[in-house]
A and B are shown apart, each in its own frame.
Chain A
Amino acid sequence: MTLPSRCGVAGALLLALAMPAGAAVQPATAPATAEARAPAGDPLDELLRELARRRHAHAAFTEVQYLAMLDRPLESSGELLYEAPDRLEKRTLKPRAETLTLAHGVLSATRRGRTRTVELAAYPQLAPLIESLRATLAGDRAALEQVFSTHLEGDLAHWRLRLTPRNPDAARVVKAVLISGAHASLATVEILQTDGDRSLLSIGPELSP
């Protein structure tokens, strides 16, 4: 009897506030021509196959967030851990300890000894941010294309993948996710928001497991 509306999780409510009032729901963007049908030897397939061969990864990261309302960018750093196919952990060590874990579609955030859990499937709006990284690391093309339209540039040695959210709710907030890398190593993940704010995650050298 918490609320007769069972109005769901805090995030969903927040989203109700966060969405521009009265914004019309845009129809999902049509699939980009690039991925209309992959011919044999499709570069994206090749890249994803290479990525999929990687079963785990452990690297340092630094993240810089540029928010218009803040006087200076926010910097944080820590470690990224990945276990194929669906466990991803982002351990922020500085400036404050915080751990984000994605395991089997459940996202949990732990800070100051408190853990908040969210089922990703219930949040088509949050899903792109998390799924972009996970599906790319896993080389999971089906999952990737379910959430994004994709556009690949460059060659295997220097590739750059542009992901645009299909979900209209998500597209209202996130303009695109740009991932760059070399072969099976990711170098940067950049999230561009529709309001001009952005974040840049730089992935450093591999740490010993």
Chain B
Amino acid sequence: MTRSGWTGTLVFAVAAVLAALVAAHAGYTADLSAFLPRAPTAEQRLLTEELRAGLASRLIMVAVEGADAAARAQAAAGLARRLRADPAFVEVSDGELDELAPTAEFLLRHRYQLSDAVTAQRFSAAGLHAAIGETLDLLTGPEGLLVKRLFTRDPTGETFHLLDELDAPRIATVDGVWSSRDGRRALLIAQTRAAGSDTDGQERAAAAIRTAFAAAAAALPRARGSLVLRLSGAGVFAVTSRAVIRAQVLQLSALSAILIAALLLIAYRSAAALFLTFVPVASGALAGIAAVSLGFGVVHGITLGFGVTLIGEAVDYAIYLFIQTEWRRSAWPTIRLGMLTSVCGFAALVPSGFPGLAQLGLYSIAGLAAAALVTRFVLPEWRPRLLHTRDLAAFGGALGQALARLQRARLALVAVAVAALLVLLANRNTLFSRELSDLSPVPLADQELNASLRADLGAPDARYLVVVSSADSASTLAGAEAVALRLRTLSAAGIIGGFASPTRYLPSPATQRARQASLPPPAELAVHLQQALIGLPVSARRLEPFLEDVEAARKAPLLTAHDLAGTPLGGAVDALLTVNGGTATAFLPLTSPNGGELSPAAIAGIRAAAEHAPPPVSGPPVFARMLDLKAEADDLYTHYLGQAVALSLAGLGAILVLLIVARSPARALRIVAPLVLAVLVVAAALIAVGQRLGILHVVGMLLIVAVGSNYALFFDRLAQHPPAEASRTLASLAVANLATVIGFGVLAFSSVPVLAALGRTTAPGALLALLFSALLAPRSAFASTAAAPSS
């Protein structure tokens, strides 16, 4: 090895150790959230975070299927009993009555602070007369049996009013446990202690449910083996996504490495060369991980998945080195320019607001630069003197002849271009996907199960909500009450299906005080009651418990979040009211009347309710607005899709400028034209088979240009090579292209949409880029290869 070789190896070793250290200490994440668009404003980011960790994300919907209804109900009840004993779950609900008692007790005890019907008017003689009269009506109705026990304590029916206001979904019951409407599933809901964003915690919770189910099913020997457990929910999705991404990144990387190794072994007939070929690839992957870790603090699992794509391109460098003999003089300058064009293209992604794209950009830049540098300065020095790789000049020569013949038909490319443009033009309004959910790696069947369980359980998807915030929770709650008052009007009119508010269980201190103040002192209440009972079949002496309860309520301390802690209602308030630093935020989730989308008119009504609610008389200002999370997410997605297109075009522009400077405008055009054509044809083909283009398709197109520019650059200079070397260059291009197509082709079979989109775009694109570059190369390009079929 030469002196400079030792220097190169030393620098390489030190850099590799440093990068390995960084990579070893990097944070890795695999849930999809890091790959979702980053909300542009700090406020939205905060909201998304809170929603992600909030109540809806902590609910696991559990279904028991199979066997018969009785066995399902028993298994579900057994499962619920086991889970209730597990501290990993805050609450497990399956419709069992005993579980409701604490909630009902709490409402009864605090009814005069909680009920919005409590006003001074209601406790006047006339008000009491009317209220007690109404309760007597209930007493004679079918609910009478239920109301009766409470009548002497609560003759004005506040508890019934509160329960009525709960507006809980109607869930069918079979054999005492919740059931799906078609009766084929027993259902329960488990609320995990772990936040939805805590994927490890969610995974443990899901595992605990499976274990408990196995035990519950084992206790039913009659139904053993025929009962099936199904889980769904945001946390479950996160766990599934992570497992899918993790498994696929490993499997696909391994598969493409094996396939490419097999290809290279055939091409080189040298194990040593094969080993050396992977040195720049591994160096590139390591450099990429280190760069992303340093640049972003955390490396996403999907970014590692793109390691596969790096194999596709970085492997090319070593292939050129081992197949072309005139490497340093003729190949390296071309590779250098090719690498720089790729870097230009990827650099355009780095400023993207979409974390996944930015990571991909940085990963690729660092990875390609490292791979190219290792190939140039380290690998040649390690190349054993006696390393004999197969001479592919003959293969290249034959290929050259074939391409020269094919070139005669290159006018047909005009027709191809026109056809592609026509397809794109005909579908111009539906070219791009606008739904963020298209990125979800959760299988469609799982998403459908989720939708049907949600419908059966009336579980909210927290899509529509009004967000109220202020500097302290008292003001926030007061603001939420003002909004809730208006929402109630919309709900009564059937414009919205219903809504939840933390103030239902935790009214603002001002409201609680006002309600307490409207309760008359004992002597006065006794007088009012005497007058109120005239004409009613009740005597005051029976209502002593009522007088006692009202007096206790008058003196009761204000209800605080602390009082609710540990009750199911506390869980609800925790989810709907968060206090974070100097901001208290209340969430009021809404549902549509039919469970589907809200009409534009309803949305306008809600916006008005949120934005025109009267401002507080005193205290800090209160902000309220309506959010449609799906629309916001889709808007963000569309925004980033537009950004990805713009950035990719910028990347293409940068590549063009670089080529113009390095070559000439005419040659630059000649190099870029086949690449653009390849992109057009791939886009048209994807559209033709019914795909809509998403962000990763656009990135894939950028990759076509980045990878394809190498081929185009080689064809551009092919005529200047001596015949045998031109043939070898051609052969190396074919092998490199095959390696790239394998690398991306494997991705195309991924069930993770982002990886599949990338593979399905880039694999055919790279092949076409090579083909079109060959066809559009100067006619002289293949002259020398054709003249020397063998050497």
- A contacts, CB < 8 Å to B: 1-19, 21, 63, 65, 67, 69-74, 76, 96, 98, 100, 107, 109, 111, 116-117, 119, 121-122, 124-126, 129-130, 169, 173-174, 193, 197, 199
Contact = CB atoms under 8 A, between A and B. Distances in A.
A165 B313 CA distance: 77
A17 B149 CA distance: 8
- Of B145, B151, B159, B538, most A-chain CB atoms within 10 Å: B145
10 contacts: A2-B166, A6-B171, A7-B166, A10-B168, A11-B146, A14-B146, A14-B160, A16-B97, A70-B538, A125-B145
Given A4-B93, A15-B146, 19 more contacts: A1-B462, A2-B168, A3-B103, A3-B500, A4-B572, A6-B459, A10-B163, A11-B163, A13-B166, A17-B101, A21-B101, A65-B140, A65-B144, A76-B140, A98-B141, A121-B172, A129-B142, A174-B145, A193-B145
Interface in B563-618: 568-569, 571-572, 575-576, 587, 589
A62 B137 CA distance: 15
Given A16-B100, A76-B140, A1 B575 contact: yes
Interface string B116-151: 000000000000000000001101111111111111
B191 A1 contact: no
B537 A14 contact: no
Contacts of B143: 11, 14, 109
B170 A119 contact: yes
B147 A14 contact: yes
Contacts of A199: 140
A73 B136 CA distance: 11
B481 interface: no
B575 A4 contact: yes
Contacts of A11: 143, 146, 163
B139 A3 contact: no
B47 to A, nearest CB: 15
A67 B148 contact: yes
B393 interface: no
B169 interface: yes
Contacts of B55: 1, 4
A7 B146 contact: no
Contact of B150 (A17, A65, A116): A17
Contacts of A6: 93, 168-169, 171, 189, 457-459
Contact of A1 (B108, B151, B572): B572
Contact of B136 (A12, A74, A124, A126): A74
Contacts of A74: 136, 139-140, 537
A74 B107 CA distance: 29
Nearest to B90: A4
A33 B428 CA distance: 78
Nearest to A20: B149
B537 A3 contact: no
A199 B145 CA distance: 11
A16 to B, nearest CB: 4
Contacts of B56: 1
Given A7-B568, A13-B163, A122-B170, A18 B139 contact: no
Name, among B168, B538, B539, the residue most crowded by chain A CB atoms within 10 Å (CB to CB).
Answer: B168
Interface string B172-213: 110010000000000001010000000000000000000000
Contacts, number: 173
A105 to B, nearest CB: 11
A14 B108 CA distance: 10
B460 interface: yes
Contact of A100 (B142, B169, B572, B587): B142
A197 B167 CA distance: 30
A69 B108 CA distance: 20
B471 to A, nearest CB: 24
A21 B100 CA distance: 12
A122 B171 contact: yes
Contacts of B142: 100, 107, 109, 126, 129-130
Given A2-B500, A6-B171, A14 B163 contact: yes
A74 B173 CA distance: 34
Contact of B538 (A10, A17, A69, A76): A69
A146 to B, nearest CB: 13
Interface in B36-63: 55-56, 59
B104 interface: yes
B694 interface: no
A187 to B, nearest CB: 21
Contact of A67 (B139, B160, B459, B575): B139
B498 interface: yes
Contacts of A72: 537
B565 to A, nearest CB: 14
A67 B539 CA distance: 13
B145 A173 contact: yes
Given A5-B99, A10-B164, A126-B142, A69 B150 contact: no
Of B152, B167, B171, B457, which is in contact with the most chain A CB atoms at under 10 Å from its CB? Answer: B171
A11 B59 CA distance: 24
B542 interface: yes
Contacts of B400: none
Contact of A7 (B148, B151, B168): B168
B149 A18 contact: yes
B105 interface: yes
B150 A18 contact: yes
Contacts of A109: 141-143
Q: What are the 8 A-B residue pairs with the smallest beta carbon separation, nearest first? A: A10-B163, A14-B146, A5-B568, A16-B100, A16-B104, A1-B589, A13-B104, A4-B571
A86 B290 CA distance: 72
Identify which of A2, A67, A70 gathers the most chain B CB atoms within 10 Å of its CB: A2
B91 interface: yes
Nearest to B461: A1
A73 B90 CA distance: 47
A18 B568 contact: no
Nearest to B151: A69
Nearest to A117: B170
Nearest to B571: A4
Interface in B383-439: none
B288 interface: no
Nearest to A19: B97
Contacts of B172: 119, 121-122
A126 B108 CA distance: 21
Nearest to A193: B145
Nearest to B460: A1
Contacts of A129: 142, 145
A102 B300 CA distance: 57
Interface string B460-495: 101000000000000000000000000000000000
Contacts of B173: 121-122, 124
B338 interface: no
Contacts of A63: 140
A5 B169 contact: no
A8 B100 CA distance: 9
Interface in B527-556: 537-539, 542
B537 A70 contact: yes
Contacts of B93: 4-7
Contacts of B144: 65
Contacts of B462: 1
B193 to A, nearest CB: 12
B95 interface: yes
B114 to A, nearest CB: 13
A71 B537 contact: yes
Contacts of B575: 1, 4
A151 to B, nearest CB: 22
A12 B100 contact: yes
